Amino acid sequence: MGTLTSYITWRVVKVAFVTALFMSLVILLIQIFRLGVIILGLPPSSSLAFLTLWFSYYTFFFLSDGLSVATALVVADLKEKKIIHIAYSMGVSARRFLSLFLVPFSLVFASIFVLSFFMFEEIVSFAKRSLLLQYKERVIESVSERTFLKIGDLVMYVGEKSQGLFKNIFVRYKDTLITAEKASYVGGGVLKFERGSLLTKEEGKYLLVEFDSYRLDIKGGDPPEIREKKLKRDVAVNTFNLLFTPIMFSASLWLSFTLSRTHTDAYYISGFLIVVHHILVFAVKAFSGA
């Protein structure tokens, strides 16, 4: 039984992590139209650091799903190879056989438990904003004269450019329009304008203001109180995932042993459990108030 335990442990853990990694790759591909240009437009060191964080978080997030898929597939594999039938013929009880899956479950569950203390979606969002800011800085510094530039919420036109100084500049950022004689990028996501006018919308009214000097912060991001709410939401999601993992694993193991006959059945079972899992995750996010 020791060899069988080692086989089941290796297969379940490997498939769980590979599945979670694959699902994180799918999420990245869904957002590739938003992130692809930015990732390719930055130095490899910055892009690689972001991708490492991205895959680390989403692999952790999908580990519960990966464990469900791995359990169902390994059970189907054992049934197909008649290993379960052979074990029964040797006097091994169903309860004893099922207990062999507790070792890989414990390893994956321990990983989720440890990572849940410091892997949060808001950290990935912060890294994404930092990456976007780096990209904005590179593009702004290299903008050509008499050219419109658009990056996310920022639209910029420069009439002339000389040694980092922009002349006859027009900028639209969210609901704010700015025209100025001169401007420069001072770093940290801040554009400094000199002698110009600003058109903005406040409480449904447009306000036009002339200025001698004005600083515009283009970093974006949420106010501190919103970030705090999102962090609390992430803690709630991590806690739910941790508590739901044993339930999802038990359901996958029981349904696979009782209902699964082929690998196709295993995919149906794990697919159903994944859908239920993410509906509940959505509900946790909604009720957490962020």
208 CB-near residues (< 8 Å, 6+ apart): 197, 198, 199
Structure tokens, 228: 């705090």
pLDDT (mean) for 34-54: 85
**Average model confidence (pLDDT) across the chain:** 86
Sign of torsion over alpha carbons 181, 187, 189, 190: negative
pLDDT (mean) for 137-161: 84
pLDDT digits (tens, 9 = 90+) for 162-202: 877 888 999 998 888 999 999 988 888 888 999 999 888 77
pLDDT (mean) for 55-63: 94
With contact defined as beta carbons under 8 Å apart, do 160 and 181 qualify?
no
More confident residue, 41 or 278: 278
In this prediction, residue 64 has a pLDDT band, given cuts at 50, 70 and 90, of very high
What does each C-alpha distance from 114 to 106, 177, 190, 231 come to in angstroms? Answer: 12, 47, 38, 17
Strands 165-173 and 147-151: unpaired
pLDDT digits (tens, 9 = 90+) for 224-283: 778 888 888 999 999 999 999 999 999 999 999 888 878 888 999 999 999 999 999 999
Strands 147-151 and 154-162: antiparallel
What does pTM read for this prediction? 0.82
With contact defined as beta carbons under 8 Å apart, do 64 and 246 qualify?
no
Q: What is the largest CA-CA distance in the chain?
A: 89
Residue owning tokens 């910029």: 156
Strands 154-162 and 165-173: antiparallel
Specify the pLDDT at position 236: 93
Sign of torsion over alpha carbons 70, 74, 75, 77: positive
Distance CA 280, CA 117 (A): 20
pLDDT digits (tens, 9 = 90+) for 263-279: 888 999 999 999 999 99
What does each C-alpha distance from 199 to 149, 153, 154, 180 come to in angstroms? Answer: 19, 16, 15, 12
Q: What secondary structure, in 3-state letters, does 146-197 show?
A: CEEEEECCEEEEEEEEECCEEEEEEEEECCEEEEEEEEEEEECCEEEEEEEE
C-alpha 20, offset from chain centre: 12
| 276 DSSP assignment | H
Distance CA 83, CA 77 (A): 9
Structure tokens, 176: 């704010």
Strands 190-202 and 154-162: unpaired
- pLDDT at residue 99 greater than cutoff 80: yes
Specify the pLDDT at position 84: 66
pLDDT digits (tens, 9 = 90+) for 191-221: 899 999 988 877 777 888 888 999 988 877 6
115: left (phi over 0), alpha (psi -120 to 50) or beta: alpha
In this prediction, residue 86 has a pLDDT band, given cuts at 50, 70 and 90, of low
Residues in the chain: 290
Specify the pLDDT at position 93: 62
173: left (phi over 0), alpha (psi -120 to 50) or beta: beta
